[in-house]
Structure 1
Amino acid sequence: MSELPLRAQLAAVLGKGAATLSRATGRGDGSVIGGRVALKVEPELLAKLARGRRLTLVSATNGKTTTTRLIASALRELGEIATNEHGANMPTGHITALANAPEARNGVLEVDEKYLPQVLRDTSPAVVVLMNLSRDQMDRASEINLLAKKWRDALRRSEAHVVANADDPLVAWAGLGARHATWVAAGQRWKEDSWCCPECGGHLKREPDPHWECPECGLSRPEASWAVDNENDTITDSNGQPMRMELGLPGDANRANAAVAVATAAAYGIHPKQSLPRLREIRSVAGRYTSVVTDGVEVRLLLAKNPAGWLESFAVLSQPHVPVILSVNAQIPDGKDTSWLWDVDYTVLRGRRVFVMGERRTDLALRLETDGVPFQVADTVADVVSHVKAEQSGITQIDVIANYTAFQQIRTAYGRVQ
C-alpha cells in the first residue's frame, strides 16, 4: 500500500471503510460498494493496484467463480493470493480484492465477459483464462460472437499468456488472437451456440468429437497439450502423463474447470502433483454444491443461469427417486428475458418428482408442461421438504437447481452457506 501514490492510498482506505460499513449494516459483503467509493476518488486505481503483480484473469459464461477459486487455491503454493473468489467480477470488485491484499504479489481475478477487454488493458495480466461462451442474459448481454471478437482484438494487443479451452470454437478463435497460448481439451457439452465459424460464418464440421473445423476458411481446433478424460477421471499433462483427479466437486464441468486450473498453475511453475491435492479439498464454491440439512432432509444447492448451465446441472442430479426443485427469477442480475427456458431440454426430468418455485415459476411451469414433465408449484424449500416428507416415506435428500437471484435467496434463507 505504501508504494501507491497518496491519492490511490486514500482511495483504497476509503473503499475499505465503505466495505466494512456495508458488512456491518448487513447490506452485503462490501466488494462492490468499496470499489465504487474508491473509484470516485481515484479513477485509475485498478491499474495502480495491479502494478507490480502477476495476475491471472478468468473469464467465461459458466464456471468463472469455481475456476477462480480452484486457481487461487493452487497458486497459494506461492504464498498470499489477491482474489475475488466469491464472484464480484467487475472492476469495482477487482479493486476491493487487490486493495484487501496489498502485499500479495500474485492474484486471480474473475472477470465478467463484457469487462474482460477493459480489465485486460488496465491490469496487464500475466495469464488470461478463457473457458466457454454461450448465450446468457439475452436482454442486456452482448451477442456472443461480438464478445469473442472483442476478446480476440484485446488479446492481440496484450502480452498475456492465454490458457483456453480448445473444444469451444468461439473461445479458441478468441484465444488464437494471443501471442502465447496453452490449449486444454476441456470439453463442450453445450454446442448450440457454436455451429457457425466465428471467422467466416461458415457451418462448422464437428466430427469426430471433439474435433471441429471450418471447411470454408480452414479455422480448426487447436492442438491441446492438456486433456480431461471424464470416463476415467484423469487429466493428462503437457508431457502426456495421466493423473487421477478425484475432485470433491461433482460433474464433468468441474473436471473441465479443474483441468484449466491445473494448466494455469503449471504456467506459474506449479506441478500438477502440487496443485491437484489443493483442488481436491474444495467441495463448495460460494454455496454451489453445498448441502444443508433441514428437518432431517439434505438439500443440495446447484446454480444454473442459462441453458448450458442447466444442462450441466441435470448431469449431476442425484438418483431418479430424489425430488428436484427448479427455481427461476428474472431480476436484473438474472436477465429479465426468460425465453432461454425454451432452449433447455427438460425431458430428462421425466420420471422425477419436480417442484417449481421463484418469481417466474409460471414461465417454468409452462415450459415443463410442454415437455411433458409433471410438476407441483411451491413457495419455499421448507414447504417442499414438509410436503415430500408427509407423502414420501424415508426421503432423505432433495436437489435444488436455481438461477442467480433465486439461488441467492435460498442461500440467505439457510444462512448463506459456504
Structure 2
Amino acid sequence: MSSSLLARPESVRVRHTRDRFAVLVGRAVSGYHLRTGRPGGSFAGGRAALRISPRVLSSLAGQFTVTLVSGTNGKTTTTRLAAEALATSAGVVSNSLGANLPDGITTALLSAGSEVEHAVLEVDERHLPRAVLETDPSLVILLNLSRDQLDRNPECRMTAESWTTALAGTRATVVANADDPWIVWACRNARRVVWVSVRQRWTEDSWVCPACGNRLVREGESSWNCTHCTLSRPSPRWTLDNGRAVDSRSGTAHLLSLRLPGRINEANATMALAAARIHGVPAGRALSGMADVGSVSGRYEDFQYQGRRVRLLLAKNPASWLETMDVLMDSPRVLFSLNARELDGLDTSWLWDVDFSGLRNRSVFVTGERRYDIATRLYYEQVPFQMVDSLAAACVRDEATDVGDRLDVVANYTAFLSAIRTVRSTGPRSVETGRR
C-alpha cells in the first residue's frame, strides 16, 4: 500500500521557550536515571517535562509520523513488532519498556535522535483519547477490549465510548480487530478502518450488542452479529490463517516465522504487518524485522536459573490467561505467581473465569502474595499443585517426577517484575535455541 495514504505532517520544531526548557529538563532527568540506574527511568524525564509544559508532548510528537497501539492485551508485544517492522525502512522511536502513560510516552520521544522518522507508541486504554488528541497520529492499532483490573479500570463500554469520540476527530487510519464487537463499535465514526481478523478466542465480555444491548450470536471464531440491530462483524482486509497473514485484496499469504511462541503472537504480528504495509513497508522486509524478536520486556525470555531453563510469561486477566494456556501446551512444569497490589488490581475474582483444566497432568506450583487465591481455584478445578515460597523452591529437583529442565513461570504484573529481578540477578541468560 502506498505510503502516500499516511502523509507525514510538516515537521514541527519545539520553538516555544517553555517547551524548549521542558525538553532540556526532561532529557537531563532521563540522563540522570540512565547513569545512576535509579528506578523510573522510563517515565521520570517525561513527567518532569510535562510539569514544566503540559503541551510539550504535542510539540515533540509533531516531529514524527506517529503510530499508536492500544487494547487490553498484547499492547507491548504488538508495539515492539510494529516498531521492528518499520525500523527496516526508517528510524523509529518507541516506548518499548511498556511505560504507556503520557509521561512514559513523552520520555520516549525525548530520547529520539534527529534521524528518527517514526514513533510507535503503546498507549494505556484509558489514555488513548488524550494521546490521539496530543500526538495527531497517522495510524492507530486497536487490538481488543476485555475486563481488566475493574477496581481501577472502567468497563469495556466506557472505554469504547471514549475511543469513539477520539477517533471521530482524527485523520488517522485505524487498524482494528474485526472479531471484537467492542472494537468494531468503537470504530463506528472513524474516517478509515482497515479490518483484521485474528480469530479472537475470548468472547466472555461481549455477549450483548454494544449498540443496542440485545444478544450477539456467533458462528465459530470469525463470525458474529446482533440479533436486533445492524451491528455485525465487518469483512476483514487481513486474516490470520494457520500461521499465515492473508491479504484478501492481493490474495497473498505471508508466513509468520516468529521466535515468539503461541497463536496470540501470530495475531499480534498480523496486526503489526497490516500497519507496516499501510506505512509502505514491503511485507517481506516487515516480516524479517519481526522475526528477530525473541522476547519483549522479559516476556517469553529464557534464563538459566537454579539448574532450570526458566521462561517468563505475563498474564493479568482471563483473556490473557486463555492465550497463555496455549503457550503452556508442551510445558511439563509450571509455576503460577500471583500478587494483588495496586498495579495488578486488587480484585482476584477473575481467576474463576480461567479454565485451568488443561494443567491436570503437569507439575504445578503456586507462589506469590495471593497464592491461596490461586490454590483455591486450582483445588476446585481438580488440578494437583504444590505451594512454594519462592521461584527457587519450584526449581528444586524431584527425580521421581522431573521431566526435562524447563520451568514456565506465569505471573501478573508485580509478580512478573519480581521474577525478572530474581533470574537476572543470579546469572546469564540462556543461549537462544532458534525459532519456535
Q: TM-score range by the shorter chain?
A: over 0.9
3-state DSSP of counterpart to 1:73: helix
State the partner residue of 1:326: 336
8 Å Cα contact 2:46-2:110 kept in structure 1: no
- Paired amino acid for 2:373: D
Cα distance in structure 2, aligned partners of 1:226 and 1:371: 37
- Paired amino acid for 1:398: L
8 Å Cα contact 1:163-1:260 kept in structure 2: yes
Alignment match of 2:199 (pick from 180, 187, 193): 187
Matching of residues 209-288 of structure 1 within 5 Å = 209-230=221-242, 233-237=243-247, 238-288=249-299
Provide Cα deviations, 1:217-255, integer angstroms capped at 9, x if missing partner: 11011110111113xx21112311112111111111100
Alignment match of 1:398 (pick from 401, 407, 411): 407
8 Å Cα contact 1:324-1:354 kept in structure 2: yes
**Which blocks of at least 5 consecutive residues in structure 1 are unaligned?**
none
Q: CA RMSD in A?
A: 1.6
Matching of residues 335-350 of structure 1 within 5 Å = 335-350=345-360
Determine whether 1:198 maps to 2:210. Answer: yes
Alignment match of 2:93 (pick from 77, 82, 85): 82
Alignment match of 1:152 (pick from 164, 180, 186): 164
3-state DSSP of counterpart to 1:213: strand
3-state DSSP of counterpart to 2:226: coil
Cα distance in structure 1, aligned partners of 2:78 and 2:15: 30
- Paired amino acid for 1:78: S
Deviation of 1:394 after TM superposition, in Å, equals 5.5
State the partner residue of 1:414: 423
State the partner residue of 2:59: 48
State the partner residue of 1:359: 369
8 Å Cα contact 1:23-1:29 kept in structure 2: no
8 Å Cα contact 1:182-1:225 kept in structure 2: yes
Q: TM-score, normalised by structure 2?
A: 0.92
State the partner residue of 2:184: 172
Identity %: 45
Aligned residues: 414
Provide Cα deviations, 1:12-40, integer angstroms capped at 9, x if missing partner: 22112222323444332512111111111
Cα distance in structure 2, aligned partners of 1:218 and 1:144: 20
**Which blocks of at least 5 consecutive residues in structure 2 are unaligned?**
1-11, 430-436
3-state DSSP of counterpart to 2:185: helix
Cα distance in structure 2, aligned partners of 1:290 and 1:131: 23
Deviation of 1:209 after TM superposition, in Å, equals 3.4
Cα distance in structure 1, aligned partners of 2:13 and 2:303: 43
Change in CA separation of 1:378 and 1:264 when aligned onto 2, cut-off 3 Å: same
Deviation of 1:205 after TM superposition, in Å, equals 1.1
Provide Cα deviations, 1:129-180, integer angstroms capped at 9, x if missing partner: 0011111011010111111111111101111100001011111111232110
Cα distance in structure 2, aligned partners of 1:83 and 1:258: 17
Determine whether 1:39 maps to 2:47. Answer: no
Provide Cα deviations, 1:72-97, integer angstroms capped at 9, x if missing partner: 00111232112101100000011111
Deviation of 1:296 after TM superposition, in Å, equals 2.7
Q: TM-score, normalised by structure 1?
A: 0.95
8 Å Cα contact 1:4-1:49 kept in structure 2: no
Cα distance in structure 1, aligned partners of 2:92 and 2:151: 35
8 Å Cα contact 2:307-2:395 kept in structure 1: no
- Paired amino acid for 1:63: G
8 Å Cα contact 2:333-2:406 kept in structure 1: yes
